[in-house]
Amino acid sequence: MARLLDVKEYKVYYQTLKGQIRAVDGVNFFVNADEVFGVAGESGCGKSTLGNSLIYLKAPMRYAGGNVILDGMEISRLPDEIMKKMRFEKISIIPQFAMDAMSPTKKIKNIVVDLVREHDKKMSEKDIIDLAIKRFKMVGLSENVMNMYSIELSGGMKQRVVMVISTLLNPRLLIADEITSALDVSSQKFSVEMLDEFKEKKFVSSVIFITHDISVLYQIADRIMIMYAGHVVEIGNTEDIVSKPLHPYTKLLISSLPKMGVQFSQNRLTGIPGYPPNLLNPPTGCRFYDRCPLRIDPQKCKNEIPPLVEYMPGRYIACWAYTKGNDKNG
């Protein structure tokens, strides 16, 4: 399968007075064309940082290394002028803060027209508005929304408006950051269905679906990546990750969830004792060491970062228990 996005040893730090916060610290993964790639992990593990930095790396974020290849093109250090063209047209985002992603003093219509015009000067205002109205109707919004201000919309409506705006130029890759978290169960379901429909209709090709609630991913994701404290710990098909988690963190994560079938639960990933490490001065070895029940080789686990290896075809794990020579835990 063709890879749409390939991320290698990618690092993004936050520059603060106290020092660097290593929020994304050497992650490796790829996203295939035409798939939904789920990203899960506890709050603060760097999911949003990863998503935001892929499209718009803005201070206090700082690029600290690695490669991001989108559609065969290295984009991690593109000059802003060129990257600007890629945004919205090739890669787009529904940010975690969708609730206040729109200026309160502008009508939705103006926001839509202004944003599209930045990319396509030739497109007439009417065409832009018509296109937007068509999409709004698809997500169950009336065309009146165009003349409203974001403050007049409910949370669910804002979420849908942002979903429509972000996909208006049919980007290849859409990053959807916690689009279900602020919603009630039925709106969550609706959002997920809409995303599916947009994919069906080819408005977007692939989606990176970020959530702290792994149960949402059963529904929608083809593959799942689990992050912990700025590192990738495991990647695999949704089936495999859910039914046969391998990494000790993933195991705890899955077992702390309610039984399968109880989907869209409000359950948070809090079932694991202890706290994630401080990303200002992260531990030198495995970042899960402190909370890990396994610690297959305590000396090594504490001092050396486990690499992400392909343990089985399509199954990637970063744990000393699954690297060659330590393979006792199959």
Ligand X SMILES: Nc1ncnc2c1ncn2[C@@H]1O[C@H](COP(=O)(O)OP(=O)(O)O)[C@@H](O)[C@H]1O
Tell me the residue nearest to Mg ion as measured from the CB. 48
Taking CB under 6 A as the criterion, the residue among 7, 10, 11, 14 binding ligand X is 14
Question: What is the spatial distance between Cα 322 and Cα 229, in angstroms, rounded to a whole number?
Answer: 19
Is position 19 an interface residue for ligand X (rule: CB under 6 A)? no
Per partner kind, with CB cut-offs from 5 to 8 A, the member of Mg ion, another protein, ligand X, none near residue 217 is none
Residues in region 50-79 near another protein by CB under 8 A: 52, 55-56, 58
Picking from 42, 46, 47, the residue whose alpha carbon sits closest to that of residue 291 is 42
In the chain, alpha helices (H): 47-55, 80-89, 108-117, 125-138, 155-166, 185-200, 214-220, 238-243, 248-255, 298-303
Of 165 and 246, nearer to another protein (C-beta) is 165
Of 148 and 294, nearer to another protein (C-beta) is 148
Per partner kind, with CB cut-offs from 5 to 8 A, the member of ligand X, another protein, Mg ion, none near residue 44 is ligand X
Taking CB under 6 A as the criterion, the residue among 28, 48, 159, 191 binding ligand X is 48
Residues in region 264-283 near ligand X by CB under 6 A: 279
User: Do 175 and 143 contact (CB within 8 A), yes or no?
Assistant: no
Is position 247 an interface residue for another protein (rule: CB under 8 A)? no
Alpha carbons within 13 A on the beta-carbon side of 262? 8
Query: Which residues on neighbouring strands pair with residue 5, listed in sequence order?
Result: 31, 70
User: Do 72 and 252 contact (CB within 8 A), yes or no?
Assistant: no
User: Do 71 and 172 contact (CB within 8 A), yes or no?
Assistant: yes
Is position 141 an interface residue for ligand X (rule: CB under 6 A)? no
Q: Are strands 223-228 and 36-40 parallel, antiparallel or unpaired?
A: parallel
Per partner kind, with CB cut-offs from 5 to 8 A, the member of another protein, Mg ion, ligand X, none near residue 58 is another protein
Preceding omega of 60 cis (within 30 degrees of 0):
yes
**At its nearest, how many Å lie between ligand X and the CB of residue 26?**
14
Exposed / middle / buried, residue 95 (Cβ in 10 Å: 0-12, 13-18, 19+): buried
Query: Binding segment for ligand X among 43-51, 144-152, 217-225, 255-263 (CB under 6 A)?
Result: 43-51
Sole residue written with tokens 């003093």: 105
Per partner kind, with CB cut-offs from 5 to 8 A, the member of another protein, ligand X, Mg ion, none near residue 245 is none
Interface with another protein (CB under 8 A):
16-18, 52, 55-56, 58, 83-89, 92-93, 95, 97, 100-106, 114-115, 118-119, 149, 151-152, 162, 165-166, 278
Interface with ligand X (CB under 6 A):
14, 16, 21, 23, 41, 43-49, 60, 279
